[in-house]
């Protein structure tokens, strides 16, 4: 009997009703299933339609229910096989076992019944029983079925501790089919036998010459982590991201570069992947690559209109311009940008930065002090903010007030700029 008997019966029924077949994932027309138009809800044909509909929609719960009902009606083992697959997918082992028991009772000599029972026994770690059933299977099956039988047999032998026999089989199987699944099975057998280097080479070779399968590459990452080998972890993590485009691998790669202190590689990765342009911007700034930082910030501001990027542009332009070149025209342009930012965003960082510019360059000292005070409301203990306020008082000639403001932070101050300000404020006394 054909393994596709269910589909054949259903499609014949469709033809008799003049109904079109459906594509995978689509639901069958409701009028067929629900309207009653000549369909007997207790009939074999109705359950065949419903079962196929559920299967095509990947609704395994309903598929299992309807295929079980079909098997109950006419005891055709093909329906039981479909039900078993569906129950296995949803891990409903109670109903799966019930179907298997019924199969064993009704068609105990059917080879496919034996195969399903053997697979279940292996899953339950009853390897000897499974092997006994597998050894009773006919030897004249087609090559595909024979390979499946051999795979089950090797798995049972492995479970019983006969690793050498299992290894022989899976080595041969991997040579015939270099799939990730076979590579992992072969690795696990070799690793369990203490042949670690040989096991790792299987995964390395598979990754280098076939594919960076996610499971295999993650296994290699774990192994290299145990050996504390950083470079292979970085290389594999990069391949994992390029293969899957998962954000988790990009973050992991950036953490590895950060741990290594390799800013150049992190920058190159971010330039190529465009994974996180804001992190790329911060890396440019940390290297004082103001040209690249400004170009990127302008691009991001143009794309998004985000005022945070406008603030970054203003800060980059100010920091990258020498003091003697900060003329009135330049300061006017910087102020224009910052005015737009601080009007719409209340950020201690922006308030202090702009406030300090207004103070240090004598653009508007009093307004600068107001902005610094606004920043201090949110960050009252920030040394640079306190220094900015003291410097504002100094610029106004209020030297005592400036000294009283800056003195509390001097004891722990190491920043050159703060110490220079303190010296001038003391001289002012």
pLDDT score for 419: 94
In this structure, are residues 113 and 138 in contact, taking their beta carbons and an 8 Å threshold? no
* Mean pLDDT to the nearest integer, 418-422: 94
φ/ψ of residue 182, rounded to 5: -65, -35
In this structure, are residues 127 and 156 in contact, taking their beta carbons and an 8 Å threshold? yes
Average pLDDT value for the chain: 87
pLDDT score for 34: 43
Over the stretch 75-115, which tens digit does the pLDDT of each residue have?
888 998 899 899 889 989 899 999 899 988 988 888 888 99
Over the stretch 34-70, which tens digit does the pLDDT of each residue have?
444 444 555 778 888 888 888 889 999 999 899 999 9
pLDDT score for 322: 93
DSSP string, 287-324: TT-HHHHHHHHHHHHHHH--HHHHHHHHHHHHHTS-GG
Angle, in degrees to the nearest 10, between helices 143-159 and 111-123? 30
Of residues 373 and 5, the one with the higher pLDDT is 373
pLDDT tier at 142 (50, 70, 90 boundaries)?
confident
pLDDT tier at 395 (50, 70, 90 boundaries)?
very high
The DSSP symbol for 358 reads H
**Of the candidates 88, 75, 74, the residue with the CA atom closest to the CA atom of residue 116:** 88
Distance CA 300, CA 282 (A): 13
pLDDT tier at 19 (50, 70, 90 boundaries)?
very low
φ/ψ of residue 407, rounded to 5: -55, -40
Distance CA 420, CA 157 (A): 78
- Helix residue ranges per DSSP H, 160-289: 163-176, 180-192, 196-209, 214-227, 230-244, 247-260, 263-273, 277-286
φ/ψ of residue 246, rounded to 5: -80, 135
For the chain, state the CA radius of gyration: 36
**Of the candidates 304, 310, 297, 303, the residue with the CA atom closest to the CA atom of residue 347:** 310
pLDDT score for 42: 59
Over the stretch 216-230, which tens digit does the pLDDT of each residue have?
999 999 999 999 999
């Amino acid at each position: 009997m054909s393994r596709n008997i269910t589909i054949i019966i259903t499609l014949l029924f469709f033809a008799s009703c003049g109904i079109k077949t459906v594509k995978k994932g689509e639901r069958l027309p409701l009028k067929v299933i629900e309207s009653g138009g000549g369909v007997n809800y207790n009939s074999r044909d109705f359950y065949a339609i419903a079962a196929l509909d559920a299967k095509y929609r990947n609704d395994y719960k309903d598929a299992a229910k309807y295929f079980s009902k079909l098997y109950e009606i006419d005891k055709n083992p093909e329906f039981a096989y479909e039900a078993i697959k569906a129950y296995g997918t949803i891990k409903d082992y109670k109903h799966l076992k019930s179907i298997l028991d019924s199969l064993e009772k009704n068609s105990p000599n059917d080879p496919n019944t034996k195969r399903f029972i053997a697979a279940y026994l292996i899953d339950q770690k009853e390897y000897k029983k499974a092997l006994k059933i597998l050894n009773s299977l006919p030897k004249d099956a087609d090559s595909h079925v024979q390979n499946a039988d051999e795979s089950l047999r090797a798995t049972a032998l492995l479970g019983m501790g006969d690793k050498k026999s299992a290894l022989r089989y899976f080595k041969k199987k991997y040579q015939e089919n270099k799939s990730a699944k076979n590579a992992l099975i072969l690795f696990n057998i070799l690793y369990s036998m203490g042949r670690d280097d040989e096991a790792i080479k299987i995964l390395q070779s598979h990754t280098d010459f076939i594919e960076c399968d996610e499971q295999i590459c993650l296994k290699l990452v774990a192994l290299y982590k145990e050996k504390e080998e950083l470079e292979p972890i970085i290389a594999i993590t990069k391949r994992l991201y390029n293969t899957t485009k998962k954000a988790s691998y990009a973050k992991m790669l950036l953490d590895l570069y950060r741990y290594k202190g390799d800013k150049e590689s992190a920058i190159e990765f971010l330039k190529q992947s465009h994974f996180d342009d804001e992190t790329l911007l911060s890396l440019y700034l940390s290297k004082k690559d103001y040209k690249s930082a400004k170009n990127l910030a302008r691009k991001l501001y143009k794309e998004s209109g985000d005022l945070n990027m406008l603030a970054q542009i203003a800060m980059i332009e100010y920091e990258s311009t020498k003091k003697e070149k900060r003329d009135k025209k330049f300061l006017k342009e910087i102020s224009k940008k910052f005015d737009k930012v601080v009007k719409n965003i209340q950020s201690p960082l922006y308030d202090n930065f702009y406030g300090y510019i207004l103070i240090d360059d004598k653009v508007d000292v009093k307004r600068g002090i107001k902005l610094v005070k606004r920043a201090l409301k949110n960050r009252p203990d920030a040394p640079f903010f306190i220094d900015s306020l003291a410097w504002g008082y100094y610029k106004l000639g209020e030297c005592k007030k400036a000294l009283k403001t800056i003195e509390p932070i001097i004891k722990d101050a190491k920043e050159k700029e703060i110490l220079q300000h303190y010296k001038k404020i003391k001289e002012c006394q």
